[in-house]
A = this chain, B = another copy of it.
Amino acid sequence: MSKQGQELIELTQLSAVVGCGSPLVREPIPAEDAVELARAFKALGDPVRLRLVSLIASHDGGEACVCDLTADFDLSGPTISHHLKVLRGAGLITGERRGTWVYYRVEPSALARLSDVLAMEQGVGA
């Protein structure tokens, strides 16, 4: 299967899992959903990757290439690329090749749904 095909499936899986946006505080999340969600949270569980998501999202036009990102880190291009690959694999960003560079964007629906899963409902646990 092509990389893009695999990526599409992963994105679709994440969307399916969190499609309802049901907060995890409301009812126990099923074990199979937890696997997909945990993968996305694990991808965010690294300071470099968290900053990469933030840098890409807040970059001009909402997209950035590795060339825009390396200046913010004391890391090599290949290391940055590795972290971007993990974020892509988790469905948190997408990449589009244009000429020499791949331009990355955050996947708004994936972030929004993770946000929804963590949302507290009024009166819960308070």
Contacts and interface: CB of A to CB of B under 8 A. Distances in A.
A44 to B, nearest CB: 4
A27 B112 contact: no
A57 interface: yes
Interface of A is mostly: helix
Interface size class of A (residues with CB under 8 A): 35 or more
B25 A51 contact: no
Interface of A: 24-29, 31, 34-35, 37-39, 41-51, 53-55, 57-58, 62, 72, 105-106, 108, 111-112, 114-120, 124-126
22 contacts: A24-B53, A24-B58, A25-B54, A26-B58, A28-B54, A28-B55, A28-B72, A29-B51, A31-B51, A34-B50, A37-B50, A38-B45, A38-B47, A38-B50, A41-B41, A41-B50, A42-B46, A44-B118, A57-B124, A62-B124, A106-B125, A111-B118
